[in-house]
Structure 1
Amino acid sequence: MTTTDAAPPATIRPPRPRGLLLGPAFVAAIAYVDPGNVAANLTAGASYQYLLLWVLVLANAIAVLVQYLSAKLGIVTGRSLPEVLGQRLPRSSRLAFWGQAEIVAAATDVAEIIGGALALQLLFGVPLVVGGLLTGAASLGLLLLTRYRGGRVFQNAVIALLVVLSIGFCAGLLFAPPSPSGMLAGLVPRFEGTTSVLLATSMLGATVMPHAVYLHSALTRDHHGHVAEGVDRRRVLKATRVDVVLALIVAGAVNIAMLVLAASTLAGRSDTDTIPGAHRAITETLGPLVGLLFGIGLLASGLASTSVGAMAGAEIMRGLLHVRIPLFVRRVVTLVPALILLGTGVSPTWLLVLSQVVLSFGIVFALVPLVRATSDPALMGSGRNRLPTRIAAWAATGVVVALNLALIVLTVTGLG
């Protein structure tokens, strides 16, 4: 482990060809289709059919705004959000902020390792703990691509996994089309009791993920460097908007596909509130090919998302504490809690759902500093958020806070 001074802004680079401006958002988008999403979306669709579809639509709209702000921060300042906070916060506050951010990162790792282990069990009958070890090892291999082959190779590998998981999770809709009227009804915001609020919060935490907010600014910093104000910056920001919208359209479509597939094929069936149960039901209803594709999608999701999660955790530590640790060491340390939980015998699906609730409570700690930083003229100059963007960003933050408060009130009072 080494300690370094705060990193200076990234160096200014020559303009990239237009096609090479895209990519960072697709890496960040992996966080939006991780195994926690699978558990939350399948459980919501199987338990409440289309009731909570509106949550996914709202969460994806919030995600587009949030990820663009994170990307813009990296482009305009040449620093990631953790780096900006590491320079602005006093040491005591920095340590506290790092602590909660690392808890969020740990919850992310738990979800992703568990998802990969579940996929290996469904596909090959591998025991969960062994599957967790294999998932961690495979994710380390992906991370080593960045070190030895460069970020572009890692980015391409993650995008390839995104394509695989998209096919795997969407294939079932070809055999079980959703109900158009049910989907329209699902766009009306409403709940049905405490459990539906818990699931909605889990879906929100699985869609607008804190570690993706921290990481995206670092991805654009590394991809573009510090872009000087003027024509080049406007060009990069325009391309970044396209990058974010396209990436999150893909991620949002996959999430919606999971929920509506569960609503159309799993509703009313027993033992569909777990991923293994849902996999069995999908296989029995739609055939072994769809079940196989679903398992492959889950495996691709776990492998890609655990690599992205580890990168986010490393950036959080480096930016806030100015400390670097080798990726191998970090991978081993963050793997241990997931393996312990896998060995307890607790339902892996509910571990995934609850991990997403933890993420949902961590969103506020990422969103508030992000909105404040990107609205600060001293930091952003002419790139600061304009009034409509500030209003939309604070409104999105308010929605997140309100949903979390509703969860606390309903859980404590036992209403529903």
Structure 2
Amino acid sequence: MIQSTALSRIPALKLFQDSVKKNGLRFTLKRIVTFLGPAFLVSVGYMDPGNWATDIEGGSRFGYTLLWVILASNLMAILMQTLSAKLGLATGKTLPELCREQYSKPVAIFLWGTAELAAIATDLAEVLGGAVAFHLLFGIPLFVGALITGVIVGLILMLEEHNFRYVELTIISMVAIIGVAYLVEIFLARPDWGQLAFHTVAPQLPGGSVLVAVGIIGATVMPHNLYLHSALIQSRRGDDLAANRRALTLAKLDSIIALNGAWLVNSAIMIMSAAVFHTNGLQVISIEDAHRTLQPLLGPLSAGAFAIALLASGLSSSTTATMAGQVIMDGFLRARVNVWLRRAVTILPALIVIGLGLDPLRILILSQVSLSFQLPLAMIPLILFTRNKSLMGEFANKRLTTALAFISAGLIIALNVLLVWQTLVG
């Protein structure tokens, strides 16, 4: 069986894999619970501060109308993340490793450079989100909040050297905090359940909503998540074909549970915004505005839950963005960078942005636009690799899966291009 260099250089992942080999992958409740984790780490990228800004704006401007967009984008995300997990299970290699091996050196270097820029742009948004959360909760200056965010993320990642499961459980706990916080928000907001249910399944695009819808879909499948999932899933590999078949089934279950959780959170953000802001005739276009407006409308509990959830979102998504950066460098260059050096590299842009006094929301939007350029460079190789029978064996995509993947990729790429165009030309 092929051993991934990414896996061999992370001792805790290797220990977890050895446990899977020893105990098997029987479909017991304990085994299923033990298996869950990789997709939960990936799912935080779908609840990051960038998604918050888009969902809040959509809900405040258009009410419940765009809930169907969140559902549609989530279905595409489940498909693409499942392909990433399948690639890691079938080949024992990460998406960056296969790009390095299958493409010429100049192409691989180009892909590495764009992937690194995407990882830095992603982490920029996450660090800014954490800094804003610290400011909202404790009045800490954004610059100091960004530094604190970077230090906490570095400490979380240090758990990797002891037991990677601790990192997974930490992230899952943060996801749970976000979910509980938004249960509180929904309870306090008292939404119109009939309208909510209708607009979740009834596609509509009211006038002026196209750009917001494009933003929701265009930011759904983030390139760093496709790289990361293909690495994390390898800790769940078995040592024979039957074990890997069971592992793939559990990986699909992991993705469905985790990404549907992300869908519920994103829907809850838009529902809260629609019920509180849109109903009261308020258009809120920034995270800070949302927090400032919640307290007089729903009270301090709502504003506090909002800020706590934002902090959990910023910390968890920044953690996984840093992990993705490690996977990218390890896969493309066979080099592993010290976690603190990696944090320093990725946090520096956020500190520069804050130090220059630039608008965090504007920078967040620009960071999402930059991801649009890199997204096809991760999606297309993923689809091509997973349809390749010489690489995947019996795990190669069926024709329908490949067709759906290309349709999803084409739609997302087209919408990202439209998003970039409308952002640049206004």
Q: CA deviation at 1:189?
A: 4.3
Alignment deviations for residues 84-114 of structure 1 (CA, whole Å, 9 cap, x no partner): 1111121111111111111111111111000
Question: Residue 29 of structure 1: which of 13, 19, 43 is its match?
Answer: 43
Q: CA deviation at 1:9?
A: 8.2
Deviation at 1:345, TM superposition (A): 2.6
Deviation of 1:397 after TM superposition, in Å, equals 0.6
**Which runs of 4 or more aligned residues in structure 1 lie more than 6 Å from their structure 2 counterparts after TM superposition?**
8-12
Counterpart position of 2:11: none
User: Which residue is 1:154 aligned to?
Assistant: 167
**Higher mean displacement: 16-25 or 151-160:** 16-25
Displacement, 1:398?
1.2
2:287 is aligned with 1:289: no
Aligned 1:228-377 pairs, distance under 5 A = 228-229=240-241, 231-267=242-278, 269=281, 272-377=284-389
- Deviation larger for 337-346 or 400-409: 400-409
Identity across matched positions, percent: 38
Match of 2:189, SS state, is: coil
> Hey, what does 1:76 align to over in structure 2?
90
**Aligned mate of 1:217, from 230, 242, 249:** 230
Are 1:122 and 2:136 matched, yes or no? yes
CA distance change for structure 1 residues 44 and 351 in 2, over 3 Å: closer, same or farther?
Answer: farther
1:410 to 1:35, Cα distance in 2 relative to 1, 3 A:
closer
Structure 2 vs 1, CA of residues 46 and 9 (structure 1 numbering), >3 Å: closer, same or farther?
closer
**CA RMSD in angstroms, aligned pairs only:** 2.2
Cα distance in structure 1, aligned partners of 2:180 and 2:339: 30
Query: 2:156 aligns to what?
Result: 142
> Which residue number in structure 2 is paired with residue 201 of structure 1?
214
Match of 1:179 among 192, 203, 214: 192
**1:395 & 1:377 partners in 2: Cα distance?**
20
Superposed CA deviations along residues 275-301 of structure 1, whole A, max 9, x for unmatched, are: 111011112111101111111100011
Q: Alignment partner for residue 108 of structure 1, among 122, 129, 133?
A: 122
CA shift in 2, pair 1:189/1:317, >3 Å: farther
Amino acid at match of 1:238: T
Amino acid across the alignment from 2:401: T
Residue pair 1:76, 1:227 contacting (<8 A) in 2 also: no
Secondary structure of the structure 2 residue equivalent to 1:214: helix
C-alpha displacement of 1:360? 3.4
In the alignment, the residues of structure 2 paired with residue 243 and residue 16 of structure 1 have an alpha-carbon distance, to the nearest angstrom, of 14
* Structure 2 CA distance for aligned equivalents of residues 114 and 380 of structure 1: 39
Q: Shift of the alpha carbon at 1:385?
A: 0.5
- Superposition deviation, residue 410 in structure 1: 4.6
Q: Deviations over 1:316-351 (max 9, x none)?
A: 111012222111101001101011112233332232
Larger displacement relative to structure 2 (292-301 or 5-14): 5-14
Structure 2: how far apart are the matches of 1:281 and 1:9? 46
Query: Aligned equivalents of 1:77 and 1:166: distance in 2?
Result: 34
Distance 1:189 1:72 in 2: 34
Structure 1 residue aligned with 2:203? 188
**Residues 1:41 and 2:55 aligned together:** yes
After superposition, what is the alpha-carbon deviation per residue over 1:240-297, rounded to whole angstroms, capped at 9, x for unaligned? 1111100011110000100111111112555721111101111211110111111110
How far apart, in 2, do the equivalents of 1:340 and 1:226 lie? 45
State the Cα deviation string for residues 152-201 of structure 1 (Å, max 9, x = none): 111111101110111123321102133345432464142634xx444333
* Closer/same/farther in 2, CA of residues 189 and 323 from structure 1, 3 Å limit: farther
CA contact (8 A) 1:199 1:353 kept: no
Closer/same/farther in 2, CA of residues 344 and 248 from structure 1, 3 Å limit? same
Distance 1:227 1:204, change over 3 A: farther
Instruction: Give 5+ residue unaligned stretches, structure 1.
Output: none
Q: Deviations over 1:204-259 (max 9, x none)?
A: 343221111110010001x2246422x21221111111111000111100001001
CA 1:9–1:266: 2 relative to 1, 3 Å: closer
Describe the SS at the equivalent of 1:324.
coil
